[in-house]
């Protein structure tokens, strides 16, 4: 997110800068204006964004602490307005129940009021409402405002598809960045890292391996089905639910009744290859999987691991190690 912006100290008698909410004076005599953030949207993702932004604005001196969140107003079964409930309980009881948003999040059902002082506009609304919202906002935002779009989807018209970020930029005449990525499941993150490590290891071991093979049925399709179903998944889930207290051998015998697991032995074989070549650090997911199977790490290590980055680029390694 952009830092606060600097403006020369105004001359005595000069008009105050437009919409200056609060300011700090820096050592070099400049006024450091604090940026104000408004989140346009208050569904599940908009509420998550508002919560995270609000926790950051509390820590960052260059931002105004208050984060406004525009709410498409609705009446709850209790008869209360959603906005009133959010402001009273500090929780979006409909779209993000059970999570406190932070006391500096202010829900506002008036779109124009919610954006009028904002330097940063964070859009998090289903894409089908974006054109109408942008039309409402024309001429109502600060001229130097900047936008970030968290909106998925494109607007499809006769002239062709248009990205939501372009819609925002064109309609409002402001810059718009995009923030996107897998956010829901650790499983998706782990599958992606797994695929990366599979590709890198295959390329290390076999020169003729092509990237395109990983998009075939034997690649990503098999990876997804194996991760979401099948015997390895079934037994690994039982292993994790037991906190690693019951061994894979024991669970295999009990659950598969004669069928065999390949995952555990494959993890060991891969580990041996990597260890032999001194490459364990480059393949942290493969290494972690084996260490969980042998009981050296708890099953939860797989989730903790997914935030780590390998020490070297796998791509670089696959070039250097041939």
Ligand X SMILES: NC(=O)c1ccc[n+]([C@@H]2O[C@H](COP(=O)([O-])OP(=O)(O)OC[C@H]3O[C@@H](n4cnc5c(N)ncnc54)[C@H](O)[C@@H]3O)[C@@H](O)[C@H]2O)c1
Minimal CB distance to ligand X: which residue?
A: 43
The interface mask with ligand X, positions 94-113, x = CB under 6 A, is -x------------------
C-alpha–C-alpha distance, residues 294 and 284, integer Å = 15
Q: Check the annotation: does 173 bind a ligand.
A: no
Binds ligand X (CB under 6 A): choice among 100, 140, 152, 316: 152
Q: Check the annotation: does 56 bind a ligand.
A: no
C-alpha–C-alpha distance, residues 34 and 277, integer Å = 53
- Total chain residues near ligand X (CB under 6 A): 21
Q: Check the annotation: does 72 bind a ligand.
A: yes
The pair phi, psi for residue 253, each rounded to 5°, is: -65, -40
Smaller CB separation from ligand X, 3 or 132:
132
The pair phi, psi for residue 63, each rounded to 5°, is: -120, 145
Q: List b or e across 288-309, with b for residues whose CB sees 16 or more CB atoms inside 10 angstroms.
A: bbbbbbeeebebeebeebbeee
Please choose, out of 126-134, 205-213, 237-245, 303-311, the segment that lies near ligand X by the rule CB under 6 A.
126-134
Which residues, including other chains, have CB under 8 Å from residue 282's CB and lie 6 or more apart? 200, 274, 310, 311, 312, 314, 317
Binds ligand X (CB under 6 A): choice among 37, 53, 145, 151: 151
Mark out the alpha helices in the chain (DSSP H runs).
Answer: 44-59, 82-89, 111-115, 130-137, 164-172, 186-205, 222-228, 231-241, 248-256, 263-277, 284-293, 301-305, 314-320
Cα separations in angstroms, 227 against 188, 193, 234, 243, 265? 10, 13, 9, 19, 16
**Residue 183 lies near ligand X (rule: CB under 6 A):** yes
**Residue 181 lies near ligand X (rule: CB under 6 A):** yes
Smaller CB separation from ligand X, 119 or 164:
164
Binds ligand X (CB under 6 A): choice among 43, 194, 219, 284: 43
Which residues, including other chains, have CB under 8 Å from residue 234's CB and lie 6 or more apart? 255
92 C-beta neighbours (distance < 10 Å), count: 28
Binds ligand X (CB under 6 A): choice among 126, 194, 219, 263: 126
Smaller CB separation from ligand X, 42 or 288:
42
Smaller CB separation from ligand X, 148 or 270:
148
Please choose, out of 145-153, 185-193, 222-230, 253-261, the segment that lies near ligand X by the rule CB under 6 A.
145-153
Query: Look-up: residue for tokens 């498409």?
Result: 72
The minimum distance between CB 137 and ligand X, in angstroms, equals 12
Smaller CB separation from ligand X, 133 or 204:
133
Q: Check the annotation: does 42 bind a ligand.
A: yes
For residue 258 the two structure tokens come to: 């004669």
Q: Write down how long the chain is.
A: 322
Closest CA relative to residue 1, chosen from 69, 55, 72, 44: 55
Smaller CB separation from ligand X, 134 or 198:
134
Q: Check the annotation: does 185 bind a ligand.
A: yes
Q: Check the annotation: does 11 bind a ligand.
A: no
Asked whether 248 and 261 are in contact (CB, 8 A), the reply is yes
The minimum distance between CB 151 and ligand X, in angstroms, equals 4
Q: Check the annotation: does 265 bind a ligand.
A: no
Binds ligand X (CB under 6 A): choice among 38, 125, 306, 318: 125
Annotated binding site: 41-46, 72, 129, 152, 185, 231-232, 260, 262
Which residues contact ligand X by CB under 6 A?
A: 41-46, 72, 95, 124-127, 129, 150-153, 179-181, 183
Annotated binding site for NAD(+): 41-46, 72, 129, 185, 231, 260, 262
């Amino acid at each position: 997110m952009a830092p606060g912006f600097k403006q020369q100290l105004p001359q005595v008698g000069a008009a105050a800068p437009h919409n200056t909410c609060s300011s700090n004076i820096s050592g070099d005599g400049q006024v450091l204006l604090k940026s104000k953030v408004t989140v346009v949207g208050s569904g599940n993702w908009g509420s998550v964004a508002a919560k995270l932004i609000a926790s950051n604005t509390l820590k960052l001196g260059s931002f105004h602490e208050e984060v406004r969140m525009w709410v498409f107003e609705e009446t709850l079964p209790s008869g209360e307005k959603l906005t009133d409930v959010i402001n009273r309980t500090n929780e979006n009881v409909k779209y993000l129940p059970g999570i406190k948003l932070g006391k500096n999040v202010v829900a506002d059902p008036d779109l124009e009021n919610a954006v009028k002082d904002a330097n940063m506009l964070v859009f998090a609304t289903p894409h089908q409402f974006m054109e109408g919202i942008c039309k409402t906002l024309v001429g109502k935002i600060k001229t130097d405002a900047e936008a970030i779009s968290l909106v998925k989807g494109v607007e499809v018209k006769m002239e062709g598809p248009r990205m939501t970020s372009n819609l925002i930029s064109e309609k409002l005449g402001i810059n718009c960045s995009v923030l996107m990525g897998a956010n829901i499941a650790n499983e998706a993150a782990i599958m992606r890292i797994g695929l990366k490590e599979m590709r890198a290891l295959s390329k290390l071991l076999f020169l003729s391996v092509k990237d395109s093979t990983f998009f075939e049925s034997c690649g990503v399709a098999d990876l997804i089905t194996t991760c979401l179903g099948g015997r390895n998944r079934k037994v690994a889930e039982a292993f994790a639910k037991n906190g690693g207290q019951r061994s894979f051998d024991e669970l295999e015998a009990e659950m598969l009744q004669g069928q065999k697991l390949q995952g555990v032995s494959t993890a060991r074989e891969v580990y041996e290859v990597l260890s032999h070549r001194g490459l364990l650090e480059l393949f942290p997911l493969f290494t972690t999987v084996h260490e969980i199977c042998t009981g050296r790490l708890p099953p939860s290590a797989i989730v903790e691991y997914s935030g780590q980055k390998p020490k070297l680029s796998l791509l670089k390694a696959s070039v250097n190690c041939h």
